[in-house]
Every structure is written in structure tokens, then in C-alpha cells.
Amino acid sequence: MANAKPHWMADAEEKHAAALQLAFETGTLARCRRHGECTFRGAKPLQAALALGEACYRAGSLASVYGSREEMISALEAVYREHWRSECPLCTKWMDE
Ligand SMILES: [Zn+2]
């Protein structure tokens, strides 16, 4: 996945997608098995995703996405805030009905 694209070319969507990917990898965010597009909080804290992000950033694998470490942290915090539910809203709805 190495490319020569400078960091300033990564758009907001790409930053968002990369943050989500990190959060999924650490189990900070999870995806519903039944509703693939549903995202909610996993078993791991935000710190787990931040730690992985930090390691990847230092290894240089996120340098084409984020212009700075701070930018990466705020992207991770944003996706975490965005997906605040503890379980899939669609599954919860089914159980309630
Ligand atoms: Zn679901």
C-alpha cells in the first residue's frame, strides 16, 4: 500500500477511513455481523486505537494520510465520538420489538 502521495493530498474522507480502520483493528470499534454497515463501540478503549495509530504513524505507514500526529489523534477521537453506541442500533431495535 506504499504510495508516494504527499500527506496534503489525503482528503477528509481518507483520514476518516484510515481512523476507522485503526479502530476496527484494535477492537475499539466493531461492526455488526448482521448489519455490515453498522458501526458501534467495541470492547477496547479509545487508547488502544491511539496506541496503534501512534505505532503506525511512527513506522511511517500513516504519513501519507495524516500531516501530523495531532491530526491522526483528532481523526481517531472523531470516529470514536461519532460511533458512541455500545451495540448495533438495528439489532437493538429488533430486540425491542
Ligand atoms: Zn446489527
Successive 10-residue mean pLDDT values, the chain, 97 residues: 53 93 97 90 97 96 92 96 90 73
Q: How far is the CA of 28 from the centre of ligand 1 (A)?
A: 17
**Residue 62: all three cell numbers together:** 500513516
Q: What is the pLDDT of residue 53?
A: 97
Q: What is the pLDDT of residue 6?
A: 53
Q: How far is the CA of 13 from the centre of ligand 1 (A)?
A: 24
C-alpha span between 74 and 18 (Å, rounded): 12
Report the amino acid identity of residue 86: S
Q: How far is the CA of 90 from the centre of ligand 1 (A)?
A: 5
Q: What is the pLDDT of residue 89?
A: 81
Kindly list the distances between the CA atom of residue 15 and the CA atoms of 6, 58, 68, 74, 77, in Å, as whole numbers in the listed order.
Answer: 13, 16, 12, 10, 12
Q: What is the pLDDT of residue 1?
A: 47
Q: How far is the CA of 66 from the centre of ligand 1 (A)?
A: 31
Please say whether the beta carbons of 66 and 16 come within 8 A.
no
